[in-house]
């Protein structure tokens, strides 16, 4: 079976789950894809709509797409958790900047 990469972009867990589910609507899912969907279902923190919107809002703050996808996937709730997601960033962010991102996360989860 030949695999063709149609597009490459960084997405949250919720978005990845939707993509996998959508690719195999009529076909029988492989065991690997089924396990991946089960895992993503267990670890996703919010709906695909909220995760997608959150990822877009985080990108607007100047963070990399990769970092935004990580944050939208795990939805950190503390400064320490958020700081641990910034390993791909090439600069240091102030506590005020990080608090703004935490507020974005909180507002999306409360919607």
- The answer to whether position 57 is within a domain reads yes
Tokens of 31: 């065991």
Confidence (pLDDT) at 93 = 92
Give the structural domain span for 67: 8-111
- The answer to whether position 91 is within a domain reads yes
Look at phi and psi of residue 92 and say left if phi exceeds 0, alpha if psi is from -120 to 50, else beta: beta
The pLDDT confidence band at residue 1, using thresholds 50, 70 and 90, is low
Q: How far apart are CA 27 and CA 62, in angstroms?
A: 40
Look at phi and psi of residue 36 and say left if phi exceeds 0, alpha if psi is from -120 to 50, else beta: alpha
Instruction: Report the CATH number that the domain containing residue 74 is assigned in CATH.
Output: 1.20.1250.40
- The answer to whether position 2 is within a domain reads no
Tens digits of residue pLDDT in 46-99: 999 999 999 999 999 999 999 999 999 999 999 999 999 999 999 999 999 999
- The answer to whether position 1 is within a domain reads no
Residue (of 48, 42, 45, 46) closest to 16 by Cα position:
48
**pTM: predicted TM-score of the whole model, two decimal places:** 0.86
């Amino acid at each position: 079976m030949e695999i063709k990469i149609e597009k490459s972009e960084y997405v949250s867990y919720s978005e990845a789950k939707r993509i996998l589910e959508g690719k195999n609507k009529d076909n029988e899912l492989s065991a690997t894809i089924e396990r991946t969907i089960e895992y993503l279902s267990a670890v996703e923190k919010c709906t695909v709509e909220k995760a997608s919107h959150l990822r877009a809002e985080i990108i607007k703050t100047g963070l990399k797409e990769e970092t935004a996808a990580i944050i939208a996937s795990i939805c950190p709730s503390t400064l320490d958790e958020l700081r641990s997601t910034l390993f791909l960033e090439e600069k240091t962010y102030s506590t005020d900047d990080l608090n703004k991102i935490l507020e974005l996360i909180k507002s999306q989860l409360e919607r």
